[in-house]
């Protein structure tokens, strides 16, 4: 498997004091992300855990340059998301539960077009496509319109789309949400491979048991605040299970 190029020794994804505020419909300001800092190094999978509405998706969208932070900064491979969004997009693959694939295009057409949008040469696109077909096992349905595929297959194509330009960083927002047990296991296995090839992966989910043993580190956030950071062992401590540790952290964060 290709090793991906990493420019610097520092963390691939880094966010510092990130704050994001919304104006809600009744005019009050809601702080969705409050002073969040974290980083992901190359060859590492970091799990971002939190309940619905905890601020996971907002954080990841800011990293992916889809949202502008109110203050603080997010960097990918040293590119600042505000000053150099194009640089960030060059170095980042992004998949979320809501990102889909067009129904009337085949996976090959989709991946080729995204290769072009990333400015790749036609030969490079072909090579990348071969690599993706092997890595993501797309061979059986690469030339079928995506509208007729299962959600697991579609999510694989989506992941392929995010990887077409071989980005050092990968941001996944609840990628297994729509998938059944088999589908999510396949996807997560692929992520393990990608980690081995040196990708830095930031993954959010609320299905703790799926990723309990896959992530190198965890960041738990609640109502926009980071309430706990650490490896599984550090977090679990005496409680025995990650889930217990998760609830413990949230309750502690809420009461403090």
Partner 1 sequence: MNRAVNSLWAALSLARRDLLEFLRDRRTVAVTLLLPMITYPLVALSSSLGVRTGLKTTEERELATPLSLVLSGPEAPRLATRLGMVLLALEDNEPSGWPSDVFADIEPPGRAKELLNSGKVDLWINVPEGFTKELAEFNTVNLTAQVSEKYPASEKTRMQFESLINSFATQVREERMEVAGVPLSLFDPIKLTFEGKDPETVVANQRIMAPVAGAILVLLSVLTMTGSFYPAIDAIAGEKERGTIETLLIVPCRTQDIVFGKYLAIFGVTIATLAANVISILLTVLVSLRYFPEGSTDYYLQNIGTGSLITLLSFIGLASVASAMSLAVTTASKSVKEAQNTLTPVILLISALAGVSLMPGISTNRFVSLVPYTGQIVVSQNALTPPRTEQETLSESVQNDRDSSLTKSSTADILPLLLTMLSSVTVTWVLLRGTSAMLTDEDILFRGPDAASGFSRPAPRLIPGIIHGGLALALGLAGLWYIQGLSPDSIVFAIPVQQLAVIAPLAILLLWQRVNIKRTFSLYWPGYGSSWRSFLGGLSALLGGLLTGGGLFILGAAVLLEFTIIEMSPAMKQLSEKILSLMLDQPWWLAWALIAILPACLEELLFRGWVLSAFCGEKPSKQRMAIAVFAQAICFAIFHLLPERMPQTFLLGLALGTIVLLTKSIYPAILCHIANNSMPLLLLYMTGIQDKESLPESAATDVTALSLPPEAIAGAGVTIVLGGILLVLSRNLRVRGSMVKITALILLTVSYFPTSQSNHLLAQEPTTQETTEQLQVGVFPMKGLAEYTGDKPRGYSIDLWNELSKRIHASSELVAISSIENLFEATQRGDIDVLLGPLAMTEQREKLVDFTHPVVHSGLQIAVPRDRDSRLLTALHNLISWELISILAGVIGTIVLTGHLLWIFERRHNAESFPAPYPRGAWEAVWWSVSTIITGGCENKVISTVTGRFIATASMIGGIVLVALLTSTLTTTMTVDQVTGTIRSPRDLFGKTVACQEGGVVPDAVEDFGGSPKLYPDLEEMMAAVSNEECDALVSESHTLMLALHTSGTNDLRLIPGVFDSFDFALALPQGSTLREPLNNAILQMREAGQLDEIKERWFGEHN
Residue 206, by phi and psi: left (phi above 0), alpha (psi -120 to 50) or beta?
Answer: alpha
The two three-digit tokens of residue 11, written as one number: 């963390």
Would you say 109 or 243 has its CB closer to partner 1? 109
Q: Is 170 helix (H, G, I), strand (E, B) or coil?
A: strand
Q: Is 31 helix (H, G, I), strand (E, B) or coil?
A: strand
Instruction: Examine residue 113 and tell whether it contacts partner 1 (CB under 8 A).
Output: yes
Q: Under rule CB under 8 A, which residues in 120-179 are in contact with partner 1? A: 145, 158, 161-162
CA distances for 132 relative to 126, 144, 169, angstroms: 10, 16, 16
According to CB under 8 A, which one of 41, 51, 105, 133 is a site residue for partner 1? 105
Site map (CB under 8 A) of partner 1, residues 233-252, x = contact: --------------------
Q: At a CB cut-off of 8 Å and minimum separation 6, what does 226 contact?
A: 35, 36, 37, 38, 219, 220
Provide, rounded to whole angstroms, the least separation between the CB of residue 45 and partner 1: 20
Alpha-carbon span 110 to 101, nearest angstrom: 8
Provide, rounded to whole angstroms, the least separation between the CB of residue 229 and partner 1: 26
Please say whether the beta carbons of 102 and 169 come within 8 A. no
User: Residue 51's Cα: distance from chain center in Å?
Assistant: 16
Question: What CA dihedral angle connects 256, 234, 61 and 142, to 10 degrees?
Answer: -150
Provide, rounded to whole angstroms, the least separation between the CB of residue 28 and partner 1: 14
Site map (CB under 8 A) of partner 1, residues 63-92, x = contact: -xxxxx----------x----x-xx-xx-x
Instruction: Examine residue 100 and tell whether it contacts partner 1 (CB under 8 A).
Output: yes
Provide, rounded to whole angstroms, the least separation between the CB of residue 217 and partner 1: 24
According to CB under 8 A, which one of 14, 96, 135, 176 is a site residue for partner 1? 96
The two three-digit tokens of residue 190, written as one number: 């692929």
DSSP 8-state assignment for residue 141: G
Would you say 141 or 218 has its CB closer to partner 1? 141
Would you say 14 or 106 has its CB closer to partner 1? 106
Instruction: Examine residue 99 and tell whether it contacts partner 1 (CB under 8 A).
Output: yes
Would you say 78 or 230 has its CB closer to partner 1? 78
Please say whether the beta carbons of 210 and 188 come within 8 A. yes
Where along the sequence are the contacts to partner 1 (CB under 8 A)? 25, 61, 64-68, 79, 84, 86-87, 89-90, 92, 94, 96, 98-105, 109-110, 113-114, 116-119, 145, 158, 161-162
């Amino acid at each position: 498997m290709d090793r991906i190029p990493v420019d610097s020794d520092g963390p691939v994804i880094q966010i510092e004091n990130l704050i994001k505020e919304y104006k809600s419909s009744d005019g009050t300001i809601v702080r969705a992300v409050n002073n969040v800092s974290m980083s992901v190094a190359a060859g590492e999978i970091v799990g971002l855990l939190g309940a619905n509405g905890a601020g996971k998706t907002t954080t990841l969208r800011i990293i992916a340059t889809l949202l502008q932070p109110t203050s603080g900064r997010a960097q990918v491979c040293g590119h600042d998301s505000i000053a150099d969004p194009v640089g960030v997009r060059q170095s980042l693959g992004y998949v979320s539960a809501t990102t889909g694939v067009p129904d009337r295009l085949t996976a090959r057409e989709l991946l080729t077009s995204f290769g072009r949008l990333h400015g790749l040469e036609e030969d490079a696109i072909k090579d990348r496509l071969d690599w993706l077909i092997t890595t993501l096992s797309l061979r059986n349905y690469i030339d079928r319109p995506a509208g007729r595929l299962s959600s697991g297959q579609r999510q694989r194509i989506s992941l392929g789309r995010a990887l077409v330009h071989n980005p050092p960083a990968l941001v996944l927002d609840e990628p297994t949400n729509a998938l059944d047990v088999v589908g999510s296991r396949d996807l997560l296995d692929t992520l393990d491979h990608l980690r081995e090839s040196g990708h830095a992966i930031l993954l959010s989910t609320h299905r703790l048991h799926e990723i309990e043993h896959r992530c190198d580190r965890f960041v738990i956030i609640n109502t926009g605040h980071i309430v706990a950071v650490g490896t599984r062992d550090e977090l679990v401590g005496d409680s025995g299970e990650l889930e217990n540790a998760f609830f413990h952290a949230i309750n502690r964060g809420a009461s403090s």
